[in-house]
Structure 1
Amino acid sequence: MDRAEFVRSVAARQDDLITRAQALRAGFSRHDIDHLLAVGRWRPLARAVYLTRGPDGDPPARRCRIRAAVLSLGPAAHAVFGTAAELYGIAGLPRRDEIHVALPGRAARLARVSDPAIVLHQLEHPLGAVAKVNGIAATEPRLTVSEIILRECRYAAVSVLDSALNRGLVTPECLTTIPALIRGRRGAVAARGYLAEADGRAQSPLETRSRLRCVDGGVPPDTLQLEVRDDDGYLLGIGDLGWRGRRLIAEADGRDAHGTPEAAYADRRRQNRLVNAGWTILRFTWQDTLHPTYIPHTVRAALHVRRS
């Protein structure tokens, strides 16, 4: 394999990235690398990490930027906190540009970071606490959510726990081991409360936030992902939040799941079936969850009507 083929092979596994050390091992000289950068064949993306696509390609994807940050800090570097959650597809945290990377002890003190988006943490993680996600080193899922819930507010923390459970990245049994893992750390008392509220049936952070608003407002749903069937057992629809005794369903309408015309048509047909079967349907958006009283007030009013 010649050096160009080696670079293509390595870059294909690394989101089109190559490190300076890898290029040197392939037989490129420092002068060769500098020339490729000067003529725009390669582009620097992090310290000693280069994007092998030219300037006419699409901007680097988020995962590519995270990989570049981890590669730039050496073999002991790994993604942590929200960046690790992002790699796993765990939802619930606000979108942030920062890339959180950890190094142990002396390595963190000696590391040089040139990209202001990279936040370097000096952290010692035990053996087995770091896994690979699409080839990028990151804290394993249980540790990732454990460290996040110590740092985040309740709504974000519970959303992260729900998402990790829903995706099967952690199990309910796994969550029972987290209190021992975080004992004595700042935020542990609040985090134990977040663990008690986690529910993997929630399919989105919007569902989690809507549920928590109802809980805080004194009208908690008695079930999630409520299946409604007719007398013949035909499935009429599944409600995000349900109050079975009052035949009330609340739907959390996120843009991703409900934003297309096809999804809107399907939602309307499903709602018509449920209404004809005697159910009341409420619909809430992300904006609604920003007001502490709106969702519980609306649910309480609907429950009162159903009681009458």
Structure 2
Amino acid sequence: MIVHQLTIAPDQVGLVQGIMATGSLRTLTDLLLREERYPAICLLDSALSRGLVSGEDLLRIPGLIRGRRGAVAARGYLAEADGRAQSPLETRTRLRCVDGKVPPDALQLAVRDDDGYLLGVGDLGWRGPKVIAEADGRGAHDSPQAVFADRRRQNRLVNAGWTVLRFTWADTLHPEYIPWTVREAIGAVRSAR
């Protein structure tokens, strides 16, 4: 029998519904060491977006993982974290674009008309060619009200000269599909000019 003992500082532990558990930063740190890139960055983005950790907290993680198995990869994941992603699907879509050499130049891109009226906010944006990518998850986009609101917003954006692309979770499972689609849309805009 081998006994493993874990020493955790008191500020890294708390009670959750009467059960001792590590805090958000410690839990996130431990998961980063065990997860592959996409789920790890999804966890980082989600924790930042939900306010469970701060950018300052992320600066502490390299010290917490020093010398541990998986630390080299985890440090790379930290560099790719972005709390503006509002869902794991948005993170995965962004990572597919980055990996496919068409990284967006904006996240949560607010598009306004000449009078300053907000036409819509795109999940990922390429401002020069005026291309927006939407990551449409089931929960947020499946109700009839959400579908109608998405259509109205898309129509406003298209009428303002933007190309709107829509991606689902299934699209993120094919590494080349999303970047290819984005490149095609950018190319179509450029050839039309």
TM-score category, normalised to shorter length: over 0.9
Identity of aligned residues (%): 71
Query: Paired residue for 2:149, among 248, 262, 266?
Result: 266
For 2:31 and 2:57, locate their aligned partners in 1 and report how far apart those are by CA, in whole Å. 15
- Please name the residue that 1:31 is paired with: none
Within 5 Å, which residues of 2 pair with 1:240-279? 240-279=123-162
Cα pair distance change 1:294/1:122, threshold 3 Å? farther
Instruction: Tell me how many residue pairs correspond in the alignment.
Output: 191
Q: Deviations over 1:48-92 (max 9, x none)?
A: xxxxxxxxxxxxxxxxxxxxxxxxxxxxxxxxxxxxxxxxxxxxx
1:213 aligns with 96
CA distance in 2, matches of 1:225, 1:305: 23
Deviation at 1:134, TM superposition (A): 4.4
Residue in structure 2 matched with residue 283 of structure 1 by the alignment: 166
1:128–1:265 Cα change, 3 Å: same
TM-score, with normalisation over the residues of structure 1?
A: 0.60
Aligned equivalents of 2:114, 2:159: Cα separation in 1: 13
In structure 2, the residue matched to 1:223 is 106
Residue 73 of structure 2 is matched in structure 1 by 190
CA distance in 2, matches of 1:228, 1:196: 27
Following TM superposition, by how much is the alpha carbon of 1:225 offset from its aligned partner in structure 2, in angstroms?
0.2
Structure 2: 5+ residue stretches without partners: none
Who wins on radius of gyration, i.e. which is larger?
1
For residues 76 and 138 of structure 2, the distance between their equivalents in structure 1, rounded to whole angstroms, comes to 29
**Runs of 4 or more off by more than 4 Å in structure 1?**
none
* Partner residue in 2 for 1:133: 16
Q: Which has the higher contact order (CA 8 A, sep 6+)?
A: 2
The answer as to 2:158 corresponding to 1:292 is: no
- CA distance in 2: counterparts of 1:131 and 1:228, whole angstroms: 43
Equivalent position of 2:57 in the other structure: 174
Deviations 1:258-289 (A, max 9, x none): 11111111100100000001000000000000
Match of 2:45 in 1: 162
Which structure 1 residue ranges, 5 or more long, are not aligned? 1-107, 110-120
SS at match of 1:128: helix
Structure 2: how far apart are the matches of 1:132 and 1:277? 51
Distance 1:190 1:303 in 2: 32
Determine the structure 1 residue equivalent to 2:120.
Answer: 237
